[in-house]
Chain A
Amino acid sequence: MSTAEQLQDLSQESAPLDLSERTDLVPIFIMGKKYDVPSTLTIQKALEYAGYQLIRGCGCRGGICGACATVYRMPGSPRIFVGLACQTLVQPSMYLTMVPFFPANRAVYNIDEIQPDAMALLKAYPELAKCMGCNTCAKSCPMDIQVMEYISAALRGDVERAAELSMSCVMCGICASRCPAELGQYNIAILCRRLTARHLRPKAQHVAEMVARIESGAYEEPLRKLITADLETLRKLYVEREMEPHTAPEMWQPQEKTYL
C-alpha cells in the first residue's frame, strides 16, 4: 500500500490489533511503512521500538554527533522537515527517512600553510562561488544555523565570521543533501573554524610560557615531594590549598606563591 493510501486508511482505522499495555500509540511511517509507536518517544527510540537494531544512524544519542540526520514530511503540508532522530519527537502520521550518510567534497590541506582568506577557501572549495543564495541550507539545518550567512561570509573572506556562525554545526550533512549548488557546507565551515583558531586569533602566550617552565624542570622536585608524601601530609596539603574565589578577577593571585 502506498503511503498516501495508508494515510487515507488511518481515519477509519480502529485500535491496533496487538492490545499492548500502551494506550498512547501513534502511527508513523518509517520509509513509507506504518508502525504504531508511543507518542512520547524520539524518532530514534521509535525506530528501536518498531524493531530496528540501529547500526548506522545512531551515535551519541545526545544531539551532538550528527549521525542521525532525518528528513520527514507531514500529511497535508508541502514542506520538508528535518531533525536529528535522537532529538526529535515523533508526530502522528509523520513519514520519515534517515539520511545516515551523504557524500560531500572535502579538500586536503596543510593547516600550517593555508591562508585565512577567500582565495584559499575558493582554491580548496571552488564550488563556494556557485552558491545561489537560495537559503535552503539554513532552512534545513536542525541546529538552526544560518548556513547561507556563513557561506557568504566565507565567500567574502570573512573567515572569522563564518567560524563564529557555524560553531554549533554537528556536521550531519543535511545542508549538503539539499544544496542545489552542490556545496559541502560543513567541510567549508570546519576549515573556517580551524583557520580562525590557528591563524586569526592570537596565540595564548601563557600556555607557551607554562610549557617552557615545565620543560625546564621547575616542577619536578615539588611534584616528586607530593608523590612520595604520606597520605596524611597529602590530605593536609589538599585541605589547606588556597581556593580561587568564584568571583575572582582573571588576574587574581594566591597568597602562597612557592609552588607557582
Chain B
Amino acid sequence: MGYTQELMQLIKRVEATRPARVARKKAGQEFPALSLDERQARLEKYHPDYRAGGLRELKVGPSKGYALAKEIADLFEARSRVDPDKIDLKEVHYETDTLVIGGGGAGTAAALMAQEQGARVIIATKLRHGDANTMMAEGGIQAASKGWKDSPYFHYLDVMGGGHFENDPELVKTMVCEAPKAIAWLESLGCMFNKWPDGKLFTLHGAGTCRKRMHYAGDMTGAEIMRTLRDECRNRLKDIGVLEFSPAVELLLDDKGVCSGAVLYNLETEEYFLVKAKAVVMATGGSGRLHIQNFMTTNHYGATGDGLVLGYRIGVGVRFLHATQYHPTGAVFPEQAEGLLITEKVRGAGANLLNIDGDQFVFEREPRDVESASIIRECTDVAKGVPVPGQAGKFGVWLDSPMIDMLEGEGTVEREFPAKHILFKRYDIDIARLPMLVYPTLHYQNGGLAYSPDGTTTAPGFYVAGEVGGGVHGANRLMGNSLLDITVFGRLAGIAAGQFVKGRGDVDRLSVEHVRRYHKELEDAGIDTDRVSPMLLPDYMTPEVKKRQWTTQYVGTIR
C-alpha cells in the first residue's frame, strides 16, 4: 500500500525545502508566531466554532439562553430514558458510599482517592474499565516540575493565554499548583515516564508553552497512566467494585435534593439497575462521538457527553461548551486511519506543517485552535492544500516528521513515537522517512459542567472531574493539560466525595422528581420531541441494514 504515486510526487517538494528548514530550526530561527490580535482574527474567520449556524441557544435548564454546539443542545433538549411514573425507587440493586460514573482516568483517580478516605466505591462505566480518552492521550502531561527554569507562575500564564484569558482563575491556580504533586503520585504508583539515569524526567515543549514541561511515556503517556491507575484499582478490589458495560442514564436524588446514586443500564442484558450512594462523582469525559459539524474525531467509541446531560438535569449549569477543540493534526490518509490523532509532540519535537508546495504557512507551536484555523485557511481560501486521494474535495497538509531525525538524530522518531511508527508501518509508510498527511479533527470538549476546585458543584453530593467539567481550559485547552486535569481534579473530587460520605447518614428516600420537572420544562418551552438522552453509543449502522430490520425498535441510537 503506502502513499499513492501522486502523493509521492508531491512529497518531493517537501523534501526539496527540508534541508533549509532544518538548518533554520537548528539556528533557532522559527516561523513567525501570530500576535494575539492576529490569532483572534484568524479564529473568527476560519475556526469551526465561529461558523454561522453552529451554535444554538438552550431553551431549558440552568443555562437557558446560552448558545452552544447544536449537537449538544439536542442532547439537553431531549427526554430521559427513565419514566418517572414507572420507575420503582424502592428496588435498589447496589449500595455503596461513593458512586463514580466513568471508568477513565478522572474516574479511576477519584475512585482511588475516595477509597483512601475510607469509602466503599463503585465505578460504573459504559465500556470496559479504561476504554476512555485518557487511554488515547499520547503526548504528555504538563507540570512545572523543574525549579531551575519553571514554576506554577509560568504554567498559569501559559494556560490562561491558551484559553484566551477566559479560564476560571481559581481552577487554573489549583491545577498548576497540584500538577507536580500529580506527577509525584503517578510516579509512586509506578507510571513509567521517560527519565534520565539520575531520575530526572524528560520534558518537551507543547504548543503554547514557554517552558519544556511536558512529561511523557513514549507516545503513549495516557495509556501508561490509565493502565497503571486501573491496575492499582484492581489491587483494591475489596473496596472498589467495577460495573462494566453499565452506563448511567439518570441520577438519583434524595427527597432533600442531595445526589444519592444513579440508574444504570446494562448494555448487554438491557436491564436497568439502581445504585444508591452517599456521593456521586461524574467523570464521563467528552463528546467527540457527537461529530459536531460532521467532523471526524479522535475520541473513543463512548464519548457521547452523557454526564453533561445527567448533571444538567439536576440543575448544574454548563460553561465553555460553545468552544470545541479541533486537534490540528488528525490523519487523513490512509482512509482507514482517518481521524486518528497524531500527537502534538511531533510538532513539539520540531516537525513543520507544510502546504502543497512544501512551504511553511504557520508556526507549528501555535495554540491548537489557532493552528487548526490556519490549516483550514490554507486548505480553503489560500487553496494550497494537498488533495486527499480518492476523496474528492478533501484536503490535508503535510506534517514533516522526518525532520525530527535530522534535528535530534537518526532513530528518534522510532524511539519517541513507537505507537505511531508501528501503526503507519502497517500501512507501509515509514514516518521517519515520509511526512504524514493531516487535517483538523474533533478532539476535545473544552467546556462542561461548572465545578469548584475541589470538584463540588451547585448540587450537594454531586462532584465533577475531568473533561465533563468546564472552566479550567477556558475556550481552548493546551496540550498536556488534559491528562493533568483528569489526574488533579480526579484526585480532588475523589477526596471531597470521600469526605462528604463520612458526614452523611444513611440515604433515605430516593427521588426522580427532577426528571419530572425537566420533562415539564421541555413541554413548557414547546419542545415536543422523541429524542432521548444520554445517547450512550453513536450510530454507525448502515441505513440499508436499518431499513431491513422490520421489527427492531430503537430508543435513540440503541436497539
| Neighbour of B300 across the interface among A40, A61, A231, A245, CB < 8 A | A61
Contact check: which of B192, B235, B301 meets A111 at CB < 8 Å? B235
* Contact assessment for B542 and A64 in the assembled complex, using a CB-CB cutoff below 8 Å: no
Which residue in A18, A59, A67, A238 is a CB contact (below 8 Å) of B157? A238
Selected interface stretch from B8-16, B210-218, B273-281: B210-218
Complex Cα spacing A95 to B214, Å: 44
Give the number of A-B contacts (CB < 8 Å): 248
> B156 near A223 (CB under 8 angstroms)?
yes
Contacts of A61 in B (CB 8 A): 300-301
- Nearest-Cβ distance from residue B29 to partner chain A, whole angstroms: 10
Among B235, B335, B336, the most chain A Cβ lie within 10 Å of the Cβ of: B336
- The contact size tier of chain B is 35 or more
Given A197-B191, A206-B201, is A48 in contact with B154 using a C-beta cutoff of 8 Å?
no
A61-B300, A226-B156 known; A260+B149 contact, CB < 8 A: yes
Q: Which of B322-343 touch A at CB < 8 Å?
A: 335-336, 340-341
A226 to B160, CA, bound (A): 10
The reply on B228 being an interface residue by CB < 8 A is: yes
Of A58, A60, A89, A197, which is within 8 A of B136 by CB?
A: A60
- Would you call B440 an interface residue if the criterion is a C-beta within 8 Å of the partner chain's C-beta atoms? no
Residue of B whose beta carbon sits closest to that of A111:
B190
Closest to A54 in B: B301
Q: Is the CB of A106 within 8 A of B234?
A: yes
Whether B232 contacts A234 by the Cβ 8 Å rule is: no
The docked-state distance in angstroms from the alpha carbon of A251 to that of B128 is 42
Contact with B along A47-69 (1 / 0, CB 8 A): 01111011110111111110100
- Residues of A near B558 (CB, < 8 A) are 53
With both chains docked as a complex, state the minimum distance between the C-beta of A234 and any C-beta of chain B, in angstroms: 6
> Assuming A227-B170, A231-B165, A246-B25, is B189 touching A60 (CB within 8 A)?
no
- A-side contacts of B407, CB under 8 Å: 247
Interchain CB contact under 8 A, A195 and B190: yes
Given contacts A59-B131, A111-B190, A219-B151, contact A246 B165 (CB under 8 A): no
Q: A136 at interface (Cβ–Cβ under 8 A)? A: no
- Within the complex, the shortest CB–CB distance from B242 to chain A, in Å, comes to 13
Q: Are B199 and A201 in contact (CB under 8 A)?
A: yes
Q: Is B271 an interface residue (CB 8 A)?
A: no
Contact call A259/B151, Cβ cutoff below 8 A:
yes
Residues of A within 8 A of B422 (CB): 143-144, 168
CB neighbours (8 Å) of A60 from chain B are 131-132, 135-136, 300-301
Interfacial chain A residues near B537, Cβ < 8 Å:
53-55
Neighbouring A residues of B145 by C-beta, 8 Å: 204, 206-207, 210
Contact present for B131 and A67 (CB under 8 Å): yes
* Contact (Cβ within 8 A) A245 B151: no
Q: Residue A134 at the B interface, CB < 8 A?
A: no
- Decide yes or no whether A118 CB sits under 8 A from chain B: no
Give A21-52 as 1s and 0s: 1 = Cβ < 8 Å from B's Cβ atoms: 00000000000000000001110010011110
> Max chain B CB contacts within 10 Å: which of A50, A51, A61, A245?
A61
* Contact indicator per residue, chain B 229-264, by CB within 8 Å of chain A (1) or not (0): 001101101000000010000000000000000000
- Does A12 make an interface contact (CB < 8 A)? no
Q: Which residues does chain B contribute within 8 Å of A208, judged by CB atoms?
A: 184
Determine whether the beta carbon of A223 is less than 8 Å from that of B227.
no
A164 to B13, CA, bound (A): 38
Contacts of A210 in B (CB 8 A): 144-147, 151, 180
Residue on A nearest B427 in the bound complex, by CB: A89
Collect the chain A residues with CB atoms within 8 Å of residue B245's CB: 55-56
- Expressed in whole angstroms, the Cα–Cα distance for A218 and B545 within the complex equals 63
A223-B146 CB under 8 A given contacts A55-B537, A65-B131: no
On chain A, the residues within 8 Å of B335 by CB distance are 40
Kindly state whether residue B494 has any CB partner on chain A within 8 Å: no
Closest residue on chain A to residue B364 by CB atoms: A246
**A198 vs B151: C-alpha distance in the bound complex, in angstroms?**
25
- Are A163's CB and B192's CB within 8 A? yes
In the complex, chain B residues whose CB is within 8 Å of the CB of A239: 35-36
Does A214 lie at the interface of the complex (its beta carbon under 8 Å from any beta carbon of B)?
yes
**A89, B336: Cβ atoms under 8 Å?**
yes
Contacts of B144 in A (CB 8 A): 210
Q: For the complex formed, measure the closest distance between the CB of A100 and the CB atoms of chain B, giving whole angstroms.
A: 9
Chain B proximity of A229: nearest CB distance (Å): 9
Picked from B149, B152, B190, the residue with its CB within 8 Å of the CB of A194 is: B190
Q: Give the residue name and chain of the A residue nearest to B208 (CB).
A: A238
- Cα A222 to Cα B173 in complex, Å, equals 11
A211 CA to B186 CA, complexed, in Å: 14
Complex Cα distance A219/B157, Å? 13
> By the criterion CB–CB under 8 Å, are A59 and B187 in contact?
no
Q: Does B148 contact A (CB under 8 A)?
A: yes
CA distance A128 to B118 in the complex (A): 35
Closest residue on chain A to residue B205 by CB atoms: A246
CA distance A207 to B153 in the complex (A): 16
In the complex, A131→B127 CA distance in Å? Answer: 32
Q: Does B457 contact A (CB under 8 A)?
A: no
CB distance from B193 to the nearest CB of A (A): 7
B484 at the A/B interface (Cβ < 8 Å)? no
Quick one: which of B161, B227, B542 contacts A48, CB cutoff 8 A? Answer: B542
Interface assignment of B75: CB less than 8 Å from any CB of chain A:
no
* Complex-state Cα separation, A204 to B195, whole angstroms: 8
Q: Nearest-CB distance from B218 to chain A (Å)? A: 6
> Residues of A contacting B540 with CB < 8 Å?
45, 48, 53
A220-260: which residues lie under 8 A (CB-CB) from chain B? 222-223, 226-227, 231, 234-235, 237-239, 241-248, 250-254, 259-260
Check A198/B154 contact, CB under 8 A, given A48-B540, A210-B144, A244-B149. Answer: no
Binary interface encoding of chain B residues 388-426 relative to chain A, with 1 for a CB under 8 A from any of its CBs, else 0 = 000000000000000000010000000000110011001
Q: Assuming the A-B contacts A203-B199, A235-B36, are A168 and B157 also in contact, with contact meaning beta carbons closer than 8 angstroms in the complex?
A: no
- Of B30, B128, B180, which contacts A214 at CB under 8 A? B180
B292 close to A (CB within 8 Å): no
User: Could you mark each residue 79-122 of chain A with 1 if its beta carbon is under 8 Å from any beta carbon of chain B, else 0?
Assistant: 00000000101000000000000000010111100000000000
A sample of 8 inter-chain contacts (CB < 8 A) reads: A56-B268, A60-B132, A64-B419, A167-B192, A197-B187, A198-B187, A247-B28, A259-B153
Question: A residues engaging B (CB < 8 A)?
Answer: 18, 20, 40-42, 45, 48-51, 53-56, 58-65, 67, 87, 89, 106, 108-111, 143-144, 163, 167-168, 170-171, 190, 193-198, 201-211, 213-214, 219, 222-223, 226-227, 231, 234-235, 237-239, 241-248, 250-254, 259-260
5 nearest A-B residue pairs (beta carbon): A194-B190, A202-B199, A59-B131, A198-B190, A51-B545
Q: What is B's interface to A at a CB cutoff of 8 Å? A: 25-26, 28, 30, 35-36, 127-128, 130-132, 135-136, 143-154, 156-158, 160-161, 165, 169-170, 173, 176-177, 180-181, 183-184, 187-193, 195-201, 205, 210-212, 217-218, 220, 223-224, 227-228, 231-232, 234-235, 237, 245, 267-268, 298, 300-302, 335-336, 340-341, 350, 407, 418-419, 422-423, 426, 537, 540-542, 544-545, 549, 558-559
